[in-house]
Structure 1
Amino acid sequence: MPYKDTCNLADGVSKWLACVTGSSLRAAAHLNMAGLILAAVLVQRTDVKPMATALGAATLFLAAIQLYLLLRIEIDRQLFDVLASAHGPHDLAALDDALAVLALCTRTNASRSLTARSLGAFRFVRITVVVTALQLLAAGMGLLLQQP
C-alpha cells in the first residue's frame, strides 16, 4: 500500500519520518558545534601572513554560516521532536500559521507535506556536512602554513 503523506502521527510511517528527521537534525547540530570549535581554534592560531589572514577570514565566514545553520537546525529539530512524540493527527496548517506569526516561515511555504518538510530539513544536514568539510580543509591548510 503506498504511503499517503498526511500528518497523522498514528500512522507508523509519519511517526518514523518525524523521528528520523529529528535525529538527523540532532546529529547535524553536533557536527555544527564541532565545526565552530574547529573554527575558533584555527582563527586563534592564525598568523598575520597574508595567506593565513585570508584563511582566517574564510574560517570566520564559514563559522557564521554554521551559527545560522545551528539555529535553524535546533528550531526544526524541536518541531520534529514534537511531531514524533504526538499521537494522532497533527495540524500542519496551524504550525505554519504560528511560524508565520513569528516570521519564521512565509505563507508561501505553508501547507507543505511532512515529506517535503523532512526533505527541507535534510537540506540543512547536507549543507552542514559540506561546511564542516570546508572547515576541516581550512584547518589542514592552516596546519600546513604554520610549518617552518
Structure 2
Amino acid sequence: MREDSARNTDAWTAHAVAGALSGAIWMAGTGLAFGLATVWLLATATLPRWLTAVPLLLALAQFWLLLRVAIDRHLFEALATSANRHGAADLAGLDTALLQLGWIAPSRQGRTMADRARGALRLVRICGALAAIQLVLTFLISIPG
C-alpha cells in the first residue's frame, strides 16, 4: 500500500499544482484589470502622465505571467494524467518537447516533479503579489486629492 501511495505522489503533486495555477489565472486576470483601471485613472487625472508607466509595465508583466501560468496549468494537467495512467509523470517526454520548442535550456532537463512544482508555485506567488500591488495602486490613485 505504501508503494502505491509513493507511485501516486507525482499525480497528486501535478493535480495540486494545476489547481494552484488555475487560481493564479484568476489572480493575474484581476491584477491585470486593476492595472488597466489604474492606467485609465491616471490618464484622466491631473497627475503627470509618466506615472501611467508604472501600472502599465506591471500590467504587461502580468499579461506575460497570465500566458505562462495558462501554459503551465495545461502541462501539469497532462503530467497528472500521465502519472495516473503510468504511475509516474513523463517528465523526460515533457523536457524533450520543451527543448524542441526552445522553451527550456538543455541544462534545465531532468528536474524532479518537486522542483517543477516549486517553480510553478513561485509563479502563483508572483501573480498574487502583482495583483496586490495593482490593487493598492488603483486604490491610491482613486483617492481624491
Which TM-score applies when normalising by structure 2?
A: 0.87
Where does structure 2 lack aligned partners over 5 or more consecutive residues? none
The answer to whether the 8 Å contact 2:10/2:89 transfers is: no
TM-fit CA distance, 1:42: 1.7
**Partner deviation per Cα, 1:99-142 (whole Å, 9 max, x = no partner):** 01111111111100001000000010111111111101111111
What is the root-mean-square deviation in Å for CA atoms of aligned residues?
A: 2.3
What is the aligned partner in structure 2 of residue 113 from structure 1? 112
Residues 1:15 and 2:11 are matched in the alignment: yes
Aligned length: 140
Please tell me whether residue 26 in structure 1 is matched to residue 22 in structure 2. yes
More helix by share: 2
Cα contact 2:65–2:127 (8 A) shared by 1: yes
Distance between the aligned counterparts of 2:119 and 2:100, measured in 1? Answer: 20
Q: Would you say the 8 A contact 2:79–2:91 is kept in 1? A: no
Q: TM-score, normalised by structure 1?
A: 0.85
Task: Give the whole-Å Cα distance in 2 for the aligned partners of 1:9 and 1:35.
Answer: 38
The answer to whether the 8 Å contact 1:14/1:114 transfers is yes
Distance in 1 separating the partners of 2:55 and 2:23: 21
2:65 corresponds, among 57, 61, 69, to 69
Aligned to 1:99: 98
CA distance in 2, matches of 1:68, 1:115: 24
Report the equivalent of 2:54: 58
Report the alpha carbon displacement of residue 57 of structure 1 after superposing the two structures with TM: 1.2
Matched with 1:84 is 80
Query: How many angstroms apart in 1 are the aligned matches of 2:106 and 2:141?
Result: 44
The separation in 2 between residues aligned to 1:56 and 1:138, in whole angstroms, is 11
Q: CA deviation at 1:67?
A: 0.8
Residue by residue over 1:33-73, the C-alpha shift from the partner in whole angstroms, topping out at 9 and shown as x without a partner, is 111111112211222412xx344211001101101111111
Q: Which runs of 5+ in 1 are unaligned?
A: none
Q: 1:75 to 1:10 in 2, by over 3 A?
A: farther
What is the percent sequence identity of the aligned residues?
Answer: 32
Give the Cα separation in 1 of the matches to 2:51 and 2:130.
Answer: 14
